[in-house]
């Protein structure tokens, strides 16, 4: 699952900074209920609505908030508008990996090593297409093809690859051009675009299994 702005980028950053695990929720209510079970002291409530921290939550959905100081050793109950919903919707999959520009190479490596068919799910925005997610899918396809030149791509994968090639020299501009990127800048979160445009900053492979996201071994 790819949600460059910003759920995937926040999840990768949180795990890189020592979060114990992340429990993606489809709604704010679901996150509150699950956090009560985890218990005070261990749980952090994170997430956004319209890009802004949910009232009463500990953290929003900016990767810049997921510092080691904030998340180390904690269980994060996360409810974002599209990203965590998309992840939760894949609970029937054998395994779901969470990808973004920050960790795209190690995800490509993981997927190629498994030698299985892969579906890439772009979270998008409220059911609509997102430029940044599709371009990141294209980068993932590109990196997979570099490792496995004989992989078989469908038309959507070819299209994603072409889009990525168009923007690969300036991912920051890609994020600034995208609809959600423009919205985040309008609400004062332009710094997040710089954070989310970095490629391969982390070697973390988040895997969603049994309702929780942890680091894949
Ligand atoms: C989402 O899940 O819709 C996003 O990550 C929204 C955001 O926080 O920018």
**Which pLDDT tens digit goes with each residue over 88-103?**
999 999 999 999 999 9
Query: What per-residue confidence (pLDDT) applies to 189?
Result: 98
CA 6 – CA 1 distance, rounded (Å): 12
Q: Is the CB of 80 under 6 A from ligand 1?
A: yes
Judge whether 43 and 74 are in contact, CB under 8 Å: yes
Strand order in the sheet with 43-49: 52-53, 43-49, 75-79, 21-24, 212-215, 206-209, 96-97
Question: Which atom belonging to ligand 1 lies closest to the Cα atom of 83?
Answer: 2
**Which pLDDT tens digit goes with each residue over 123-158?**
999 999 999 999 999 999 999 999 999 999 999 999
Q: Is the CB of 81 under 6 A from ligand 1?
A: yes
What average pLDDT does the chain have?
97
pTM of the model: 0.97
**Which pLDDT tens digit goes with each residue over 74-89?**
999 999 999 999 999 9
Query: What per-residue confidence (pLDDT) applies to 115?
Result: 85
Residues in the chain: 217
Distance 30 CA to ligand 1 centre (A): 17
Strand runs labelled E in 6-106: 21-24, 43-49, 52-53, 75-79, 96-97
């Amino acid at each position: 699952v790819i949600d460059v702005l910003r759920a995937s980028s926040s999840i990768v950053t949180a795990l890189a900074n020592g979060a114990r695990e992340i429990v993606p929720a489809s709604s704010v209510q679901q996150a509150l209920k699950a956090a009560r079970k985890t218990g005070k002291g261990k749980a952090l409530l994170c997430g956004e609505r319209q890009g802004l921290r949910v009232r009463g939550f500990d953290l929003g959905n900016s990767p810049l908030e997921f510092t080691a100081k904030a998340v180390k050793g904690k269980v994060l109950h996360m409810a974002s508008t599209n990203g965590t919903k998309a992840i939760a919707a894949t609970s029937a999959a054998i395994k779901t990996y969470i990808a973004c520009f920050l960790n795209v190479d190690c995800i490509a490596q993981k997927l190629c090593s498994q030698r299985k068919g892969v579906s890439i799910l772009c979270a998008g925005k409220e059911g609509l297409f997102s430029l940044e997610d599709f371009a990141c899918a294209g980068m993932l396809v590109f990196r997979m093809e570099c490792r496995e030149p004989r992989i078989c791509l469908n038309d959507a994968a070819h299209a994603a690859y072409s889009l990525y090639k168009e923007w690969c020299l300036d991912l920051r501009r890609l994020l600034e051009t995208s609809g959600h990127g423009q919205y985040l800048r309008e609400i004062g979160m332009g710094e997040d675009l710089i954070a989310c445009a970095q490629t391969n900053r982390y070697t973390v492979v988040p895997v969603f299994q049994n309702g929780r996201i942890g680091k894949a071994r």
